[in-house]
Structure 1
Amino acid sequence: MRKPRSPARPHLPREAAELTWLATGLSRSGCKLEDAYWEPRLAAAVDELLREDNEADLTAALDLLFEADGPAHDELADMVEARAESTRLDHDGKSWDVLLVACPVLAWSRFSIASPSLSADVMAALKAQLSGHILAKNARVALADFLFSPDQLPRSFCDTFRLTCELGVRALTGRDFKLKPKDLPETNRFLSDTRYLLAAVAVPKGEALFRWNERDGDRDKALAQWSIQATPTVEGLLPGCAFEMLLPDAYHAACQQADQASRTYSLRAAIAFLQTTVGLDTAAMKAVIGPFHDQRLEEYRIGLGPRDSDDIYYGVVWPLLGTEDDNSELVPEIEAILREAGFQDITIHDHRFPMEFCDDCGTPLYPNKEGELVHAEMPEQPSHEAPGMLH
């Protein structure tokens, strides 16, 4: 996953300078033949830094190009992501392609969303379902025995590459990857969040990885079958939660897909939460949308509350992703979701709000109808305490 970049360093180490030169050459290539010259050289340079656990030089090159050359930055970021989530291993006299795969699950609950370890029976069931509906016929698979929150995913490209290699070896030797939950960071509590199953897939060099790479395969059918078959297994891992299965895919692509889908899912979860907790019908609710800026437009914040009051009961953050900016059609998308849910009272502010948070608890402040930033406050609930925020 691409990370926000810090300001560029004035002097680059030799390895980072080499990366910037190669990425710039690739970004300016004018044909496939020239691409074929630059790409293996850039891949080899990235592989060397990943094997050496040299995150600093990867970050330095990405930082410089982010400020100086957008197309070259994108080429380098794509290459680093690709090399971190894949590798080639030799086993039993053959070469195998290995890919780190993420299986995202969107979930929401009025209570805590679990991040549990997986039993041997659960892993066996999930591997059977992956092999039956998602993976190509010659694929081998190994699972990590944990349902990860976003806070518990690998923190760097080098961490991702290390996990790819460790899980890849296990896929080839028929073993699963056992984690020590105490070594993982604790996760924050949100009303709506994403959970991830992580697996490595190994196939003989050059063969299909996924079911939809085969002639009779289809992505939509694969997702439908995965959702049907894996839901009862995942249900036991997420007690008290509503959830939605997303398509398993290459690690970074799946995480980006989950980030995209979680915005709509979080907004719908907040609406359902207010309906079930406060008893408000959407026709009796209001929504207030405002753009929030730092150096650029960073996110939209959506305040939800009763239509006949100035109060904001709950708020949802809708972050910008990837190349989205002020010109992206995000407000109509948000408004369409609210209208579909039955909202009639929607206020859209077009002036810039600062990125302000509560001094006491750190949660975002949300706009009200008058354009003031306020703390979202649920009415007193006698039976349980509501989660603090959505993300």
Structure 2
Amino acid sequence: MAVHRSKSVQRISPESERLVADSISLAASGSQLEDRFWEERLHNRLLKLLKSHHQNIIDTALDQTFRINTVAFEVLADTAETLAESMSLEHDGKTWDALLLAMPIVAHTRYQIPSGPLPVSIVEAAAAAMQKSIAAEGTQLAIIPWLYSIDQMPHSHTQTRSLLETLANAAVSGGDMKLELRDMSETIAVLADPRFILAVIVAPKDQPIFRWQMDGPQRQERGVSLIEWQTAMYEPLVSLLPGCEFELLLPEAYFTNCRLADKHVRPLSIRAAINFLESTLGVLPAGLSAVVGAFGEEQADEYRIAFSLKGSSEVIYGVIWPLYDRETVSSDGLSDVSDEESPIKRICDALHDAGVEDVFRHAVLFSPELCDDCGAPLFPDRQGEVVHAEMPEDSPSQQPLFH
């Protein structure tokens, strides 16, 4: 979701230049008074671009700030996300604040994770649980009757803003949502992936949106709200997700929860791959070897994990561990596991926790190559070659994909 990585240098438009300049000025500001000045200018420029659907101008400015000033990049990225997922609007003389919510369901299975239309009973259960455990008093909701896969979500700031405006108007008016849900893109079949219920919550201007923002006895801590949400939604979702194990995350702002769900699914992808290899080949996790390498053009954008049978150099399966905006790895730290928060340490921990004892780490950055014939990602073997993952000839022909 809105993942921005620096691209090759390209001609920058005057509109992008102004966004870059305002972001750098805001990042360098030394007072709240100056902050407000630059924030107002940046907000106005971005809002105009969002409403006119000029995503390319925003993307170019993000790429430019990423290259020259990482603090300014954070300022610009956060501001663009804020304006895409939140707004104020008037209805019948009353002003409302609106926030686009993502309700993530992080799932894994040996079969297939459903997506598509939500039954009325699920939408009603989600609305009741939201009003009871998550939403502040006086708020209103509009919930989309669709279980989204990552492939079907809005993937740009302009698309997100457009969805926000549609849902916000429905939430304040109580009218129908004018959404076209019939022509959704097809979901890629993977065995570990997030699903999302999307909604907008509206509150009277400057009033609490969530229960943990309220005062007095009505206030409820996030942890309590999460437990109540998980309890209320478990039974309805069990019937919707047969054969799946899943975890519900706390309903929160769209971009934050998209990143959080993607991060939660990464270790599940490793576990799902190991479970698949165990059930398909009859090999215990301790009988597998894993080779981990960082991949990217100029910096690490992802890690690729290659699995082999222990004692063999043949790569039989692979999993990708993507990195996101706020995750960076230095060129001399690609294989360093001394930092508890580093991606490579988390990957190795996930492999060890799943029972894989033999883990080899490459210290070089690989080019993110794909197979010329089928487009599948190539994975590193122990000798440092990037190769196609191939299951043994006597294994089942249908192979699942992993996140």
Give the Å deviation of 1:241.
2.2
Query: Secondary structure of the residue that 1:350 maps to in structure 2?
Result: strand
Match of 2:402 in 1: 390
Structure 1 pair 347/16, CA: closer, same or farther in 2 (3 Å)? Answer: closer
Query: Secondary structure of the residue that 1:318 maps to in structure 2?
Result: strand
Give the Å deviation of 1:29.
0.3
Query: Secondary structure of the residue that 1:378 maps to in structure 2?
Result: coil
1:128 aligned partner, one-letter code: A
Structure 1 pair 293/89, CA: closer, same or farther in 2 (3 Å)? Answer: closer
Match of 2:4 in 1: 3
Give the Å deviation of 1:380.
5.6
Aligned pair partner of 1:277 in 273, 277, 280: 280
Query: Secondary structure of the residue that 1:352 maps to in structure 2?
Result: strand
The percent of aligned pairs where both chains have the same amino acid is 38
Matches within 5 A, 1:41-190: 41-175=41-175, 177=177, 179-190=179-190
Match of 1:309 in 2: 312
**Aligned pairs, number:** 389
Mapped to 1, the partners of 2:301 and 2:179 lie a distance apart of 35
Query: Secondary structure of the residue that 1:183 maps to in structure 2?
Result: coil
Query: Secondary structure of the residue that 1:147 maps to in structure 2?
Result: strand
Structure 1 pair 155/292, CA: closer, same or farther in 2 (3 Å)? Answer: closer
Query: Secondary structure of the residue that 2:329 maps to in structure 1?
Result: coil
Structure 1 pair 22/293, CA: closer, same or farther in 2 (3 Å)? Answer: closer
Are the counterparts in 2 of residues 88 and 98 from structure 1 also a CA contact under 8 Å? yes
When normalised by structure 1's length, the TM-score is 0.91
Mapped to 1, the partners of 2:199 and 2:135 lie a distance apart of 11
Query: Alignment RMSD, CA only?
Result: 2.3
Match of 2:264 in 1: 261
Give the Å deviation of 1:383.
6.8
Greater mean deviation of Cα atoms: 219-228 or 190-199: 219-228
Are the counterparts in 1 of residues 166 and 178 from structure 2 also a CA contact under 8 Å? no
Mapped to 2, the partners of 1:89 and 1:279 lie a distance apart of 58
Mapped to 1, the partners of 2:347 and 2:12 lie a distance apart of 43
Are the counterparts in 1 of residues 86 and 98 from structure 2 also a CA contact under 8 Å? yes
1:320 and 2:333 equivalent?
no
Deviation readout 1:341-384 (Å, 9 max, x if unpaired): 22222222223333222222211222233333332233467777
1:261 aligned partner, one-letter code: H
2:329 aligned partner, one-letter code: D
Give the Å deviation of 1:191.
2.3
Mapped to 1, the partners of 2:176 and 2:389 lie a distance apart of 44
Match of 1:333 in 2: 346
Contiguous gaps of at least 5 residues in structure 1 = none
Are the counterparts in 1 of residues 129 and 233 from structure 2 also a CA contact under 8 Å? yes
Structure 1 pair 17/357, CA: closer, same or farther in 2 (3 Å)? Answer: closer
Structure 1 pair 176/238, CA: closer, same or farther in 2 (3 Å)? Answer: farther
Are the counterparts in 2 of residues 107 and 195 from structure 1 also a CA contact under 8 Å? yes
1:378 and 2:391 equivalent?
yes
Structure 1 pair 373/25, CA: closer, same or farther in 2 (3 Å)? Answer: closer
Deviation readout 1:195-227 (Å, 9 max, x if unpaired): 111100000111111222234322222222222
Deviation readout 1:26-78 (Å, 9 max, x if unpaired): 11101222212221222122222222223233233333323333322221111
1:372 aligned partner, one-letter code: E
Give the Å deviation of 1:179.
4.1
Structure 1 pair 53/352, CA: closer, same or farther in 2 (3 Å)? Answer: closer
Mapped to 2, the partners of 1:10 and 1:383 lie a distance apart of 50
Match of 1:31 in 2: 31
Give the Å deviation of 1:272.
2.3
Are the counterparts in 1 of residues 90 and 96 from structure 2 also a CA contact under 8 Å? yes
Deviation readout 1:71-118 (Å, 9 max, x if unpaired): 222211111110010111112322100000011112223333221111
Match of 1:252 in 2: 255
Mapped to 1, the partners of 2:231 and 2:278 lie a distance apart of 27
Give the Å deviation of 1:155.
3.0
Query: Secondary structure of the residue that 1:27 maps to in structure 2?
Result: helix
Give the Å deviation of 1:132.
1.7
Structure 1 pair 11/362, CA: closer, same or farther in 2 (3 Å)? Answer: closer
Structure 1 pair 213/285, CA: closer, same or farther in 2 (3 Å)? Answer: same
Mapped to 1, the partners of 2:198 and 2:351 lie a distance apart of 33
Mapped to 1, the partners of 2:98 and 2:278 lie a distance apart of 45
1:118 aligned partner, one-letter code: L
Are the counterparts in 1 of residues 80 and 157 from structure 2 also a CA contact under 8 Å? yes
Are the counterparts in 2 of residues 90 and 96 from structure 1 also a CA contact under 8 Å? yes
